[in-house]
Amino acid sequence: MKKGLRKAAMPVVLIVLVALAVRVAFAWHQARQIPAQVLSLVPFQTETGHIAYSIASGKGFSSPFQRDSGPTAWLAPVYPYLLAGIFKLFGVYTLHSFLVAIFLNILFSAGTCVPVYYAGQRVASPGVGSAAAWFWALFPNAIIIPFEWIWDTSLSAFLLAALLWATLELVEYRRIRDWCLYGLLWGLALLTNPAMGLLFPVLLAWAAYRARAHATTMFRGPALAAALVLLCCLPWTIRNYAVFHKFIPLRSNFAFELYVGNNENYDDQHIARPAAVTQDREILRYLYMGESAFMEEEKRKAMAFIETHPRIEVWLVAQRFVDFWTGTATPFATFRQADSLWLRFILLCNDAAPLCAFLGLIVLLVTKNPYAAPVVAVPVISPLLYYVTHTSLRYRYPIDPVVLLLAAIGVHGLWKWAAGKISQSEPVSESAE
């Protein structure tokens, strides 16, 4: 048994080491080209960095735009507190803090190979699991984004892949303890990236349905998991209510994100090239109005635009769909205008991944794979939030491990189909001779 486990673990160890090496090499190459004083400051000039600065400075979870604006619920708490801990240990806005934050991102990204491998093994085969893990290890965005973004992005990708793996494995276990650990993992994920909450009822319901054969855990297990998720999120929700005197479960900025993608700049005259919603203007309004009033006004303006511009809204959703899955709303023009082979390679990978994933989705449904529902749910349900707000490859990054798992399933299915066609044609050729 130990020999079998060691044999199964070796490919995962090798893949993780390769993933770690290429990410470290890319980060080292990029860091050498940027002055140290820039690396120590500029990457932290985001809402995450500003809130972490406030925490490390003793001002609490506040000021997402660095200027003292009071408490905030703009982000969920896990990653800002993690970054604040780095600031406490290695200094605020220092090169050492930057390097530690990047290395943590790299560890999260490389470690994602493990749940991807075992999820692929459970859904299809060890070969598919290995292919999916290799895809993630060498996927350009998976290498680039851990260096480019000091945000919860890499941690979110690891947690979502781990949640999928845990969901697939959970149906094989009858112990209440496993359901409790599952609930705690979901609690950590939602406090890191609340956007994953769209998947929570779907994956939990599927796991509960599959566990119906086990009378001891049919009801208690899923109920305990759901209760633990609520308990994990409850302290932060209570904090938000105490500060803002309104119900804010995890974060408050959805109204702002909705307005960014649905605003008066998108009209019949500027539908192709709308004027940007400038950050400086929005920051000034935020500082003047306060967070609660600012979000209420953003919500009102966004909803008014959506209701009065249905035709433009349909066009925007279609644009966001293309943008989400290709990284640009005009993939062909962007590819033609790319000024380097490296950039074109990245664009090709971004386009090939969802196409192969769609093929994998078809394979799972046609073969009636018993694990199809949770795997398919990730790329189908997760992007819905971004179709109505706005998109970025960074937003796709947390689901890319599952997208590449589906891509591996699609490539494997295509290979089997081609091999079957060849094997069927060989007897005909021999008889003809």
For residue 270, pLDDT over 60 is answered with no
Structure-block tokens of residue 104: 């943590």
**Exposed e or buried b for every residue in 231-242, given b needs 16+ CB within 10 A?**
ebbeebeebbee
In angstroms, the CA 353 to CA 403 distance is: 7
64-68, 272-276, 296-300, 414-418, range with the lowest pLDDT: 272-276
Residues in a beta bridge with 62: 71
pLDDT mean over 408-415: 92
Q: How confident is the model at residue 165 (pLDDT cuts 50, 70, 90)?
A: very high
In angstroms, the CA 347 to CA 327 distance is: 8
In the chain, what percentage of residues exceed pLDDT 70? 90
For residue 373, pLDDT over 90 is answered with yes
Mean pLDDT, the chain, integer: 89
What residues contact 165, with CB distance under 8 A and at least 6 apart?
115, 116, 118, 119, 122
Residues in the chain: 433
Phi, psi (deg, nearest 5) at residue 62: -155, 170
pLDDT value of position 1: 42
Structure-block tokens of residue 97: 């803090």
Q: How confident is the model at residue 433 (pLDDT cuts 50, 70, 90)?
A: very low
47-56, 282-291, 379-388, range with the lowest pLDDT: 282-291
In angstroms, the CA 204 to CA 223 distance is: 10
What DSSP string describes 102-157?
Answer: HHHHHHHHHHTHHHHHHHHHHHT-HHHHHHHHHHHHH-HHHHHHHHH--SSHHHHH
For residue 132, pLDDT over 80 is answered with yes
pLDDT mean over 401-414: 95
The closest of 215, 203, 227 to 378, measured between CA atoms, is 203
Global pTM value = 0.92
Find tokens 């479960």 and name the residue: 249
pLDDT value of position 425: 63
Q: What is the CA 89 to chain-centroid distance, rounded? A: 28
pLDDT value of position 79: 97
Instruction: Please answer whether residues 67 and 53 qualify as being in contact, where contact means their C-beta atoms are separated by less than 8 angstroms.
Output: no
For residue 431, pLDDT over 50 is answered with no
58-67, 119-128, 169-178, 241-250, range with the lowest pLDDT: 169-178
Residues in a beta bridge with 71: 62
pLDDT value of position 77: 97
For residue 188, pLDDT over 90 is answered with yes
In angstroms, the CA 407 to CA 409 distance is: 5
The closest of 284, 23, 240, 311 to 142, measured between CA atoms, is 23
Q: Give 310-368 pLDDT, tens digit per residue.
A: 999 999 999 999 999 998 878 888 888 888 888 899 989 999 999 999 999 999 999 99
For residue 432, pLDDT over 80 is answered with no
pLDDT mean over 281-292: 86
pLDDT value of position 264: 83
Q: How confident is the model at residue 117 (pLDDT cuts 50, 70, 90)?
A: very high
Q: How confident is the model at residue 49 (pLDDT cuts 50, 70, 90)?
A: very high
Structure-block tokens of residue 63: 């000021």
In angstroms, the CA 237 to CA 239 distance is: 5
pLDDT value of position 2: 52
